[in-house]
Amino acid sequence: GEPLMPPTKDKHARMASRRFELVEETLAARASALELPRPLVNLIAKAVAFDPMRRFQSPGLFLDAIRATRAEMAGGSHAGGPIRPSGPLTIFVVEANQKLQDIFREKFKRLGFRVLISADPIQALKRYQQQAYHAVLIDAGSAPNARAAVDAFGDLLKFARENRLETAGVLVVNEDQRAWADEYEGSLTAAAFVRPVTMNQITKALRDLVPELASHASGPQSGNAEM
């Protein structure tokens, strides 16, 4: 029931830019006075951040964060850990090659994914910011602008980390782009492949990175096409 901003009847004071620029400092001071728990303060701080891009980008992301905060404050088993995106198991594939789009769609549906596909890596990032999904595969090697595709991959994983979201990433590059793949060596949330790469390799990486797939028997894989 306590207002975040100091109440005032002065119209100019209410609209002063400084009042909004200092919102996080104001929150810190109010939280200390009210002895609010740190997880709750972190949640509110993100919701009211002065920079719009630091706020929750969709109601779904806000709801996931609220659930995680409740668990953390209650000392639940997942307290303080990463948040699994809500909704059906979903993968977003960025692929410019129509034939590979069809292969990915069929293969990932058999794995149990709902499959979203686009040739535009920016669409994958925008969609994730609005409604997080569980995995992303970006084929930078087939993209008209490979550097932009790799940047979108990195931005998406960075957004996931900043929002404590547990999302798996798979990046595919060509031989002359190997240095971009090396950036993800040893990553716990992403795998990068340099062509040639097989569907079996990509499937195995997803099984290792996506908890929902870990319990599925791997077995012999059909359609082990080389990309």
Q: How far are the Cα atoms of 78, 93, 106, 119, 199 from residue 222, in angstroms, in the given order?
A: 36, 20, 11, 25, 9
pLDDT of residue 53: 80
The pLDDT profile of the chain, 227 residues, written as one tens digit per residue, is 777 877 788 888 878 887 788 887 888 888 888 888 888 888 888 888 888 888 888 888 888 888 888 887 887 545 556 788 888 999 999 999 999 999 999 999 999 999 999 999 999 999 998 889 999 999 999 999 999 999 999 999 998 988 888 999 999 999 999 999 999 998 989 999 999 999 999 999 999 999 998 655 444 455 566 77
- Alpha-carbon distance of 209 to 100, in angstroms, equals 22
Name the token pair of 180.
């971009």
Backbone angles phi, psi at 121, to 5 degrees: -65, -25
Q: Say what the pLDDT of residue 202 is.
A: 97
- The pLDDT of residue 200 is 95
Q: What is the dihedral of CA 68, 73, 74, 78, to 10 degrees?
A: 40
Q: Where are the alpha helices (DSSP H) in the chain?
A: 11-15, 17-21, 23-34, 38-47, 59-74, 98-111, 121-130, 146-162, 178-182, 199-209, 211-214
